Amino acid sequence: MSEPRWRADFPLLAKRDDVVYLDNAATTQKPAVVLDALRRYYETTNANVHRGAHRLSDEATQAFETARETLARRINAQSSKEVIWTRGTTEAINLVAAVYAPLVLGEDDQVLITEMEHHSNIVPWQNACRRTGAVLKAVRVLPSGELDLDDFDAKLDERTRIVALSHVSNALGTVNDLETLIAKAKGSGAAVVVDGAQAVAHFDVDVRELGCDFYAFSGHKMYGPTGIGVLYGREELLDNMPPWQSGGEMIERVRIEATTYAPLPFKFEAGTPDISGVVALASAVDYLDGLDAAAVQAHESELLARATSALKQVEGLRVVGTAPEKGPVLSFLLDGAHPHDVGTLLDAQGIAVRTGHHCAMPLMDRLGIPGTVRASFSLYNSGDDVDKLSRALHEVRGML
């Protein structure tokens, strides 16, 4: 397995050859084109967007709105009006839970999530249920890391107003069968909110084909900057939702007595936005669009298969999460060792992994474990990275 040709696109990997970076589910490295876009924006186009009377503001606005169109095309939204800029997945889900949920939830209505969700797709719904009197229920996760589909069917009923679930588990890599789950939810009359943070970097997402109502993701997990993300929402739903935050940018006319709000998408984008982040995220999307998607997916699948096979040879190592459909995430435990200790010893050998509960405490509770060590792979990782991880784990096993 040769070094992937895409590795040369990422400057940090060339400058930090002392680190094997296997923490991609937390954040990805950035290609040179994204770094260039950030610098170019500030050197040539920096101005505030919308309503500016000068040329520089017009240029910044054009770049900003062109980026919105780029993201809309990437996920096949019906219109760029359906793309709302947020700080990331967490803020996007909070927006839906704070603004949409009160419109549809009442006493004893139900929000259905799953036990594998990231905390950002749990806590906002707890808050929404507390405010509205609705009930929060969670679909069980099987020991393999797959959703218990019988439990999903049993808990989905006529009182379910919202179903919120992840496309790909950040802790285990499980890829959920969204098309089937969404079709069932829609058949029951529920709106569907998808946490797509772990999906958008690894395969194409078509929100219209999926049939979801909202889809949230972060730029920094798909080779873009931190602090910028996207909420996709169906236009008719967004139109009927009131603004979340108030101030500049999201207004049409302000009087002391009352205010009218700007049309979509601007009514959800109060204040000066992360303009450079938006422009750089569009560059990340252009970068992804220029790749051979099938080749990237095949490479990441090969990395996962190679790592799974190699790590199973480590004495006392147990893979956590064995669903047949997985993203490039490998979680594991070493017998008798706390995940944090394993991660620290791996770091001493130059291997960067993530340890702990991965913001998925209910999942860890269901599996009866304190957390895991998580190695997560990306298009720039190589077979040599996997081999170094394997050798380092054999060393750790000897130390422990």
Burial zone of 291 (CB within 10 Å; 0-12 exposed, 13-18 middle, 19+ buried)? middle
Instruction: For residues 160 and 150, give the distance between their C-alpha atoms in angstroms, rounded to a whole number.
Output: 16
Instruction: For residues 243 and 245, give the distance between their C-alpha atoms in angstroms, rounded to a whole number.
Output: 6
- C-beta neighbour count of 79 within 10 angstroms: 13
Instruction: For residues 124 and 129, give the distance between their C-alpha atoms in angstroms, rounded to a whole number.
Output: 9
Residue 1 confidence (pLDDT)? 66
Identify the DSSP state of 234. -
Region label for 279, one of left (φ > 0), alpha (ψ between -120 and 50) or beta (otherwise): alpha
Identify the DSSP state of 3. P
Quickly list H helices, 254-316. 275-289, 293-311
* Residue 74 host element (H or E): helix 55-75
Is the N-terminal amide bond of 11 cis, ω within 30° of 0?
A: no
Region label for 215, one of left (φ > 0), alpha (ψ between -120 and 50) or beta (otherwise): beta
Q: Is the dihedral of CA 247, 250, 255, 256 positive or negative?
A: negative
Residue 146 confidence (pLDDT)? 98
Sequential DSSP letters for 346-370: HHHTTEE-EEE-TT-HHHHHHHT-S
Distance of CA 394 to the CA centre of its chain: 32
Residue 3 confidence (pLDDT)? 78
Q: Are the C-beta atoms of 309 and 383 separated by less than 8 Å?
A: no
Q: Which residues are catalytic?
A: 359
Instruction: For residues 245 and 267, give the distance between their C-alpha atoms in angstroms, rounded to a whole number.
Output: 9
Residue type, 354: R
Going residue by residue through the chain (400 aa), what tens digit of pLDDT does each one get? 677 899 999 999 999 999 999 999 999 999 999 999 999 999 999 999 998 889 999 999 999 999 999 999 999 999 999 999 999 999 999 999 999 999 999 999 999 999 999 999 999 999 999 999 999 999 999 999 999 999 999 999 999 999 999 999 999 999 999 999 999 999 999 999 999 999 999 999 999 999 999 999 999 999 999 999 999 999 999 999 999 999 999 998 999 999 999 999 999 999 999 999 999 999 999 999 999 999 999 999 999 999 999 999 999 999 999 999 999 999 999 999 999 999 999 999 999 999 999 999 999 999 999 999 999 999 999 999 999 999 999 999 988 8
Residue 320 confidence (pLDDT)? 98
Q: Is the dihedral of CA 246, 70, 82, 147 positive or negative?
A: negative
